[in-house]
């Protein structure tokens, strides 16, 4: 195949995935996010490798984007509830310390377990659905009574069994770099950012409604 053919293949695969994307799972994730926000809970998120980088992006978006005006000139009223978002892979010092002391399989659960409550939402991202550190964190979240969302691909792995809502990216790929054990991983990582943007936008809409209600009662 030529380079043009490969690029067209990638885009064709992407369109096919979007056409069969599990929208119901995004709706369910949004509902859990709304409940967490309304109850003053905390969103915790985790992932490995490139997914951790995407979560750094998500941390910025979730923490700030819903709470600025549409023209980005000012924050919404201080009386409007903010969202607490914790990126469990955000600190290299914390992660390396936990790996050194407790091992890589416990790096997320050790950070999460002392703090998670039933008001919280734990979001887990794993291409295989079987990353041991993600699986153990989901188990800790479930034990704490927290809501749990996972995003994965393939057969969903352990994450599909453990999470309250598991979004499994459909499809398979023939594009270079995401075949074999890495099947569909580029598409998964692309769509992880898309899902985060959908959730941030939906939360911004909800926050905007809350801000309008504050203005009407002021």
Closest by Cα among 204, 196, 184 to 14: 184
Extract the runs of DSSP E, i.e. beta strands, from 20-178: 42-47, 84-87, 121-125, 147-153, 165-169
Q: 178 is in which domain, residue-wise?
A: 3-217
Domains identified in the chain, total number: 1
pLDDT of residue 80: 92
pLDDT of residue 213: 66
Residues of the chain with pLDDT below 70 are 213-218
**Cβ atoms 158, 133 nearer than 8 A:** no
Can you give the CATH number for the domain in which 160 is found?
Answer: 3.40.50.10490
**Residue 104's Cα: distance from chain center in Å?**
20
> Rounded to an integer, what distance in angstroms lies between the CA atom of residue 114 and that of residue 195?
28
* Dmax (CA) of the chain: 64
Extract the runs of DSSP E, i.e. beta strands, from 21-126: 42-47, 84-87, 121-125
pLDDT of residue 81: 92
pLDDT of residue 27: 98
pLDDT of residue 206: 92
pLDDT of residue 3: 97
Q: In what order do the strands lie in the sheet with 42-47?
A: 84-87, 42-47, 121-125, 147-153, 165-169
**Residue 188's Cα: distance from chain center in Å?**
12
Rounded to two decimals, the pTM is: 0.94
């Amino acid at each position: 195949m030529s380079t043009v053919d490969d690029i067209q293949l990638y885009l064709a695969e992407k369109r096919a995935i979007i056409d069969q994307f599990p929208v119901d799972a995004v709706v369910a994730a949004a509902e859990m996010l709304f409940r967490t926000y309304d109850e003053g809970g905390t969103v915790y998120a985790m992932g490995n490798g490139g997914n951790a980088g995407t979560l750094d992006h998500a941390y910025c978006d979730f923490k700030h984007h819903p709470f600025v005006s549409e023209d980005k000139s000012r924050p919404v009223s201080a009386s409007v509830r903010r969202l607490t978002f914790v990126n469990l892979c955000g600190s290299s010092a914390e992660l390396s310390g936990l790996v050194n002391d407790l091992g890589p399989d416990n790096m997320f659960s050790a950070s999460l377990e002392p703090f998670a409550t039933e008001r919280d939402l734990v979001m887990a991202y794993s291409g295989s659905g079987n990353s041991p550190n993600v699986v153990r964190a989901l188990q800790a979240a479930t034990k704490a009574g927290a809501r749990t969302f996972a995003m994965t691909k393939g057969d969903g792995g352990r994450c599909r069994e453990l999470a309250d809502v598991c979004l499994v990216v459909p499809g398979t790929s023939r594009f270079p770099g995401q075949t074999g054990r890495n099947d569909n991983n580029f598409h998964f990582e692309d769509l992880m950012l898309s899902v985060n943007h959908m959730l941030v936008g939906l939360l911004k809409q909800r926050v905007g409604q809350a801000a309008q209600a504050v203005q009407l009662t002021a």
